[in-house]
Amino acid sequence: MSIRRADTLGGKAAIVGIGATEFSKDSGRSELKLAVEAVRAALDDAGLTPADVDGLVTFTMDTSPEITVAQAAGIGELSFFSRIHYGGGAACATVQQAALAVAAGIADVVVCYRAFNERSGRRFGSGVQRREPTAEGAALGWNLPYGLLTPASWVAMAAQRYLHAYGLGPEVFGHVAVLDRRHAARNPAAYFHGKPITLADHAASRWIVEPLRLLDCCQETDGGQALVVTSVERARDLPRPPAVVVAAAQGAGRAQEQMTSFYRDGLTGLPETAVVARQLWRGSGLTPADIDVGILYDHFTPFVLMQLEEFGFCGPGEAGDFVAADALPLNTHGGQLGEAYLHGMNGIAEAVRQIRGTSVNQVAGAVRSLVTAGTGVPTSGLVLGADD
């Protein structure tokens, strides 16, 4: 999708299958096994077999190569395989890549997957420890000597400026945490099933990096998630209602870095999200008022507020009140704070469930879902809709 004009991708592909492993803190098996379990579960859900698959998409961070997953899952020849960079920012872009391949006739059935042992294995929350010399590493090097070593510390810089600019206190972030945990409490697949929290719980949780508390930070999770994408025409012959890709976009802003874009003109917004938002609204012809449910990437609560503002659901500095008022159903699976941290792929699955009408926190009459990917990095987004 051009940042200057609408594209023609919308309505040509759909998500027809979703599958996941359990979400845990110690999976007890390899990341490859997690990936294969999720892929097979997604194919079963779609009513397809490994023999139907001719494309795979994953993240550059994933440790299970496409050809290895294909071999282990019983998939044969591949005509398309692709990987998306920038961590959680890749989530929705995996579906975009799959939809592009299907729309262009390069592949018929593409599976997007992500699997990791992010709790029992490499923990992203532990921050930068060892890094090969790269241009990205050089950019981080301007911040590491000053103690900005972890994702929480990088986000805290922007979060502190946001609070200062709008005269708010850190309790405003608690609305996101409480909402996510309320939904997770009713979701049997969520790690925090049956464990809602209050604003008082949020305020009592320990500081991680001011102004972020423990309950402002997403989980670290072991697990896998997969999604099956095919043409809308083929989707109509499959057992599940399709979630049509109405629009898909990627975005990087000016002066973009990975989580450390501190030299922009301001720190109270997410320019990369604004790039995605403009494309999604232009490509879909929709506005915020047309969205029935939002699945917003919530690795840290402040960036949920900034996303709502960048997408135009409310004005600058108003998102805390917007969330508190339940003005839009958000993160009905519990988000990455409440369900699991699967780099946003589990959020796409929840958007599909909302379109199907099968979410445990179903929004009545939901026909359009907005999904976003990781923020603070080059990112991506989707609008999914019911088949007309």
Q: Where in the sequence numbering do the catalytic residues fall?
A: 297, 341
| CA distance linking residue 232 with residue 366, whole number of Å | 19
User: Judging by beta carbons within 10 Å of its beta carbon (0-12, 13-18, 19+), is residue 356 exposed, middle or buried?
Assistant: middle
For residue 278, what are its two tokens? 């403009």
287, 363, 367, 372: which is closest to 336 by C-alpha? 372
Which of 201, 183, 208 is closest to 302 using CA atoms?
Answer: 208
**How far, in Å, CA of 168 to CA of 182, rounded?**
23
| Tokens representing residue 127 in the block | 């921050």
- How far is 174 from 315, CA to CA, in rounded Å? 19
CB atoms within 10 A of CB 314: 19
**268: which 2 tokens?**
């109270």
Whether the bond between 378 and the residue before it is cis, its omega within 30 degrees of 0, is no
User: Which CA distances in Å does 1 have to 87, 265, 374?
Assistant: 21, 26, 19
Q: Which residues contact 85 (CB under 8 A, 6 or more apart)?
A: 59, 60, 378
Decide if 297 contacts 372 (C-beta within 8 A): yes
Angle at 154 between CA 153 and CA 159, to 5 degrees: 90
Dist. CA 111–CA 170, nearest whole Å = 40
Amino acid identity of residue 106, one-letter, is: I
d(C-alpha 57, C-alpha 49), whole Å: 17
Q: Label the pairing between strands 55-59 and 109-117.
A: parallel
